[in-house]
Each structure stands twice: as C-alpha cells, then as structure tokens.
C-alpha cells in the first residue's frame, strides 16, 4: 500500500509539472523515475531498463530513418503532388492532409509536418487566404496518420509492448491499420468538408510585414571626419555603449552581409543598421556618422539583407530547441551557429529591438540571416522548422541513387517486420545502421536526428508504468472505474476509457498518456473478464487524439505561431473531431478486436 501511495503521488506531481510546463517534460519524467528508485518502489537494477525497451530503440531508429529520407529527398516526389492547380479550398486542404497523413504513418509526426508546413503556407498565400485555415488541419493530419502503423507514433509502440505483458504477442506492424485508416479517413473528410470552416480566420505570423523591420532600418555613411574610421563594429558597444546592430555594409558597391564584430570601418562605408529614432539620433551625435536616409527606401527591405551566399528566412522553434529559455547572447547564436538574429515574433507580437535580452520560448518565430550552405544544418542544430519552402529544398542530396537506396532500405525493414522475419526494433535498427555504413547519412547526422528529450522521457516513463502495475496502482484505478459498470455496458466502458485517455493526452505528452493508461487498460480488462486487445487499441487511438489544445502534441504547438492561433482556437475544430473519433473508433475497435 505504501508503494502504491508513492506511485500515485509521483504521478500526480508529474502530471501537474507536465501541464505547468516550467520544467521540461524529459526532466519531469527523469525526476519521477529517480524518486521511485530512491524510495525503493523500483530497484536500482530496473531503474534504467526503460532505455533498452523495444519502443525506445524503435523510436530512435525511426527518427534516424526519417532524417535520411528527408535529407535525400526520397519523399519529395510525393510532396510535389501538392503543387497542383487545385482551385477549391476544400480540395487543397484535402490534398495537404492526405499527403501529411500518409507520410506521418511511416515516419515521425513532426518530420511529416516539417515537410508539409512550408507548402501549406505557400498554398495559403497563393490562394490569398489566411494560413490559419490550412495549418491546423495539417497538424491534425499528422496525428491521424500516426494511428495507422506501429511506427506511426510512439504510443503505438508502447501499447504493442504492453500487449506482451498481457501474455499475447506484440501487435504486428499493420494491426493498427484497419481502425487507424478508417478513423483517419473520416477525420480528414470531416475537416475537409466542415471542420476547417470552424477555425477562426487569424492574421498569420508568417505575413511578410509581420516584423516591420523596415521601420527600424536606416542607412548611415562613414564620412571622412567620422570617429568610427579604423574602428571595429565591436567598438559601437565597448567604446560608445550603443546597442546598434549592423546588418550589412556596402563597400565599393559590394555588400558584406552579417559582418563580424571585428570588421573595421573605412571612409565611404554605408552601414545598414537596425535601430529606432532615439538610438539613431544618439548614434549620429556621438560617432559623427551621417544619415543617408531615415528609412531604407525599398519595396522589400529583406532584399538588402540577402545575397547569393546568405538567405533571410523565418523558422519556428520546437519545444526541444537548445534556445528555449535562453537569450541570443547566452547561447552565442552568432558565434556558435553563424546565425544572425533579426527579429522575433511571439503570439502575434513582433520584437525587433532589445533582442539580446529576449528569452526564447517554444513556438517563437525567428527571422534570421544564415549562409545558404549551412541552412539545413542550422535547422537541425537549432531544432526549428523552416516556414519557407526553399528552406526544405536547400542542401538536399539530389542523387537519385541515394533517394531510391534510402527508400529501399526503409521499405525492406517494413517488409521484414510485416513478414515476421525480424522484430520491429531489430529491423529498423539494422536499417538505421545501414544508412550510416553506406554513408547516406554521417555519424553526426545520425545523432542529430535523435530527439534526446523524447528518448529520455520514454526511457524514464516506462518503468513508471511498470511500477503503476506492480504496486497494484493500476488495479486500484481499474476497481474505481468498475463502479461505472453498474450503469454502463462493456462497450460503453470503452467509450469512457477513450474519453479519459483523450483528456489526459490533451494536457500531457501522448507517450506519457499511453504509458499511464496502458496498465489501467490491462487491469480493467482483467476485472471485466474480456480480451485486453480492444482496451489497448482504445488507448492507442485516444493517445493520438490530442486535438483540443496546442500543448497536447508538438505538431499543434508548432503551427500555433505561423497560424496566428490562440489557445482556445483548437477546441473549436478539435472537439468535433474528438467526438467523431470516439463515435467512429469504438465501434470499429469492437468489430476488429472483439471483447
């Protein structure tokens, strides 16, 4: 009983911290694991067994394979299908969602979203519509598509492993498809016909004039009597204590984009600086620089900041980005990553000034200057998604042989798994290793592809799920739910289980919801005297149905800024979709997996 109490306390505290969000989810999970170990609920030998769990190994392998497929452009041919001349909005949304769902069923959900989101934004602009009508449907499609296969989403892998604990073989690769395909199809059709109309029209944070940087750009000339002649850009701060950002230097009719701090100024240089009127006046008075124009007189101010070598692009930060909670100075954005920060947007409000003290959050949109030849590398290192189609296409391996080879290795692993020749964790580990050995991806790209916070969270949570069951905690909760059987049928108990799991997955990570609800589903099946399969499949479907909040899944959070959404916008379409999933999913589960 004492162990049960400890497990419940750890779960309640973890749930609170997951929802609160001030401590990152991977550290919350690790903290819970260590508390259970220190209190003796979990032995020291079992404490880190979760990191060798088949689900964790498979997630790592899928992330690596997904990265290789994106790098080689192996699935770009499928994405190109979206660049058609479809005129009707509903058909455009349908095409975007369908391709996203298909890709998401075989690779990481966020990876699929990364491919489609820039195209969705472009389609919205070409259609002269707000991206808010396109991005939420695409995010939901990445969740719906994940329901279809064992590797489509981590909860499916977790639930498959829990089936072993019930004394059955793990779910096969396509065991999820009959239910997942129909639920996905119904969800896409509903959103295409009705759902997208329920989304409020929001001003997108990807609008070209979002940052209004032209209001802060001025051209100044280094005149012959200027005090800055022979001095470096660093001297603006150290000598004159002016926080002036020089974006480019025009010298002898040539542009120096994102000049370094040790760049020396000479007479006749024209500096493109970012400052407001008060800072500009102070700059002129103290340095003797001459104002060329009070505002850059161009239609597109971004053109000044781009060359053949440099691009200026917008990216959205993922929740596992190394920038989260830090400033541009603290993370050494310029020196370490060769990234020049121009502006930041958060929840529709742009910030162009005082970026040195600006602390980044997940979902922030950054306007950055980056050398084109390292764009893809920057996206990977900063854990961010580009909001321009060009960002996806740059630095891809265009070799058709590599494209077909990467795709062939991936399909072979699926066939070996489906045929029962190899376990899923072995087949995909072999595939990931093969991609490195034949040099389609290099070792650094292998490790960069792995989402370590997700892996830490999974490895820490899985022993917590085992502790919930071994301590009798899952039986206690199941006994409480059994009270409902006095007025609910066995079939309606599945509805209750799905609704409870949906509530949880909208507040915490979907993998965490699966880990916590799977033991309860097994205990409930035992007390009801029915097969555990329909209850486990119910948890699978529900854990992938985080449609009502932006914090339920990373895909929802990533489109919040680009779509200009508010927190309350998600339930408008998410609630009907969730109800539809219950109405469609439960009967299907009962048909395919009888009680």
Domain 213-296 has CATH 3.30.70.1450: yes
Q: Does the structure show a pLDDT above 80 at 588?
A: yes
Whether the pLDDT of residue 13 is over 80: the answer is yes
Q: Is the pLDDT of residue 456 over 50?
A: yes
**Same topology between domain 213-296 and domain 304-393:** yes
Average pLDDT over the chain reads: 81
* Calculated CA dihedral for residues 296, 298, 300, 302, nearest 10 degrees: -40
pLDDT at 583: 94
Q: Are 302 and 365 in contact, with CB atoms under 8 Å apart?
A: no
**Residue 169 · residue 163 · CB < 8 Å:** yes
pLDDT of residue 162 exceeding 90, the answer is: no
CA angle 78, 84, 87 (to 5 degrees): 140
308 vs 54 pLDDT, higher one: 54
The full length of the chain comes to 595
Would you say domain 304-393 falls under CATH 3.20.20.210? no
Q: Rounded CA gap, 338 and 318, in Å? A: 19
Q: What percent of the chain has pLDDT over 70?
A: 86
CA distances from 44 to 8, 38, 48, 510 (A): 20, 8, 8, 27
Residues 97, 141 contacting (CB under 8 angstroms)? yes
At residue 345's C-alpha, the angle toward residues 104 and 342, to 5°, is 105
pLDDT-derived band at 353 (thresholds 50, 70, 90) equals low
Other Cβ atoms less than 10 A from the Cβ of 337: the count is 20
* 491 alpha-carbon distance from chain centroid: 35
Query: Tokens for 331?
Result: 């993370």
Is the pLDDT reported for residue 401 higher than 80? no
Whether residue 530 has pLDDT greater than 90: no
CA 402 to each of CA 73, 75, 486, 543, 549: distance values in angstroms, whole numbers, following the listed order: 9, 12, 60, 35, 39
pLDDT at residue 298, as a whole number: 42
Q: Identify which of 215, 229, 357, 363 has the alpha carbon closest to the alpha carbon of residue 296.
A: 215
Which pLDDT score is estimated for 270? 83
Using CA atoms in the order 498, 500, 506, 512, what is the torsion angle rounded to 10 degrees? -90
- For 117, residues 6+ apart whose C-beta sits below 8 A from its C-beta are 135, 138, 385, 387, 558, 559, 562
Of 202 and 60, the one with more pLDDT: 60
- The tokens of 416 are what? 């070996």
The predicted model scores a pTM of: 0.79
Partners of 370 in beta bridges: 311
291 phi, psi to nearest 5 deg: -75, 125
Question: pLDDT > 90: what percent of the chain?
Answer: 13
pLDDT digits (tens, 9 = 90+) for 427-447: 999 999 999 998 888 888 898
Judge whether residue 286 has pLDDT over 60: yes
pLDDT in tens, 40-53: 888 888 888 888 88
**According to the per-residue pLDDT averaged within each range, which of 312-316, 465-469, 568-572 is highest?**
568-572
pLDDT for 85 equals 60
Q: Which residues contact 401 (CB under 8 A, 6 or more apart)?
A: none
Once rounded to an integer, what is the mean pLDDT over residues 3-17?
A: 86
What does the pLDDT look like over 83-126, one tens digit per residue?
A: 556 668 888 889 889 989 988 888 888 878 887 888 888 788 77
Q: Which phi and psi angles does 388 have, rounded to 5°?
A: -130, 140
**Burial grade of 222 (CB within 10 A; 0-12, 13-18, 19 or more):** buried
CB-facing half-sphere around the CA of 461: CA atoms within 13 A: 32
The reported pLDDT for the residue numbered 352 is 56
Give the pLDDT confidence score for residue 392 in this predicted structure: 39
Residue 274 pLDDT class (50, 70, 90 cuts) = confident
Break the chain into its structural domains and give their ranges: 2-206+446-592, 213-296, 304-393
Alpha helices in 438-509 (DSSP H): 443-449, 452-470, 473-482, 490-505
Residue 66, Cα to own-chain centre: how many angstroms? 14
Would you give the DSSP letter of residue 273? E
Q: Is the pLDDT of residue 255 over 60?
A: yes
Contact of 144 with 113, CB cutoff 8 Å: no
The pLDDT of residue 74 is: 67
**Cα separation of the two ends of the chain:** 31
Q: What is the pLDDT of residue 589?
A: 93
Q: Coil, strand, or helix at residue 26? A: helix
Give the integer Cα–Cα distance in Å for 374 and 371.
6
Q: Which of 123-127, 140-144, 243-247, 368-372 has the highest mean pLDDT?
A: 140-144
C-alpha distances (whole Å) from 457 to each of 119, 238, 279, 501 are 31, 44, 46, 19
CB of 397 within 8 A of CB of 347? no
459 to 54, 61, 293: CA distances (angstroms): 10, 15, 58
pLDDT of 586: 92
CA distance 105 to 294: 53
Mean pLDDT of 489-506: 88
pLDDT reported for residue 302: 52
- Sequence-distant (6+) residues with CB within 8 A of 468 are 7, 11, 474, 516, 519, 520
| Structure tokens, 550 | 């932006």
């Amino acid at each position: 009983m004492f162990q049960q109490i400890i497990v419940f306390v750890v779960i309640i505290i973890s749930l609170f911290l997951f929802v609160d969000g001030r401590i990152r989810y991977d550290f919350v999970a690790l903290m819970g694991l260590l508390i259970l170990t220190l209190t003796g609920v979990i032995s020291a030998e079992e404490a880190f067994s979760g990191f060798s769990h088949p689900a964790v190994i498979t997630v790592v392998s899928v992330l690596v394979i997904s990265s290789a497929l994106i790098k080689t452009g192996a699935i770009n041919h499928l994405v190109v299908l979206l660049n058609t001349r479809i005129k009707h909005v509903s058909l455009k949304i349908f095409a975007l969602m369908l391709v996203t769902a298909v890709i998401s069923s075989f690779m990481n959900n966020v990876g699929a979203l990364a491919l489609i989101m820039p195209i969705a934004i472009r389609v919205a602009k070409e259609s002269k519509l707000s991206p808010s009508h396109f991005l939420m449907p695409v995010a939901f499609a990445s969740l719906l598509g994940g329901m279809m296969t064992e590797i489509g989403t981590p909860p499916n892998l977790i639930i498959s492993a829990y089936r072993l604990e019930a004394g059955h073989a793990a779910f096969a690769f396509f065991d999820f498809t009959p239910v997942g395909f129909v639920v996905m199809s119904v969800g896409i059709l509903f959103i295409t016909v009705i759902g997208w109309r329920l989304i409020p029209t929001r001003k997108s944070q990807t609008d070209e004039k979002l940052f209004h940087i032209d209001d802060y750009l001025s051209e100044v000339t280094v005149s012959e009597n200027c005090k800055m002649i022979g001095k470096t850009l660093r001297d603006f701060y150290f000598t004159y204590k002016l926080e002036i950002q020089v974006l480019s230097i025009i010298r002898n009719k040539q542009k120096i984009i994102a000049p370094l701090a040790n760049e020396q100024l000479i007479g006749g240089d024209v500096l493109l600086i970012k400052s407001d009127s008060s800072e500009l006046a102070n700059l002129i008075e103290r340095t003797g620089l001459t104002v060329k124009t009070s505002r850059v007189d161009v239609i597109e101010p971004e053109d000044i900041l781009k060359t053949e070598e440099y691009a200026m692009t917008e990216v959205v930060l993922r929740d596992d980005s190394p920038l989260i909670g830090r400033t541009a100075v603290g993370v050494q954005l310029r020196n370490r990553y060769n990234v020049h920060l121009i502006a930041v947007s958060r929840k529709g409000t742009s910030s162009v000034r005082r970026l040195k003290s600006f602390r980044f959050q997940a979902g922030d949109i950054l306007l950055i200057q980056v050398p084109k030849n390292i764009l893809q590398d920057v996206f990977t290192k900063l854990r961010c998604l580009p909001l321009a189609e060009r960002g996806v296409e740059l630095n891809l391996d265009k070799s058709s042989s590599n494209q077909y080879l990467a795709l062939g290795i991936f399909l072979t692993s699926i066939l070996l798994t489906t045929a029962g020749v190899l376990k899923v964790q072995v087949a995909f580990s072999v595939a990931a290793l093969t991609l490195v050995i034949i040099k389609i991806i290099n070792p650094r790209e292998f490790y960069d592809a792995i989402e370590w916070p997700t892996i830490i969270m999974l490895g820490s949570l899985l022993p917590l799920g085992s502790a919930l069951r071994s301590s009798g905690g899952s039986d206690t909760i199941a006994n409480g739910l059994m009270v409902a059987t006095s007025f609910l049928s066995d079939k309606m108990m599945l509805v209750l289980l799905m609704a409870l799991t949906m509530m949880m997955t909208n507040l915490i990570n979907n993998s965490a919801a699966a880990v916590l609800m799977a033991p309860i589903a097994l205990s409930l099946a035992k007390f009801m005297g029915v097969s555990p399969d329909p209850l486990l499949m119910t948890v699978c479907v529900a854990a992938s149905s985080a449609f009502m909040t932006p914090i339920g899944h990373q895909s929802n959070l990533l489109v919040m800024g680009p779509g200009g959404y508010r927190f309350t916008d998600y339930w408008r379409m998410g609630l009907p979709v969730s109800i539809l999933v219950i109405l469609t999913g439960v009967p299907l589960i009962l048909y395919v997996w009888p009680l």
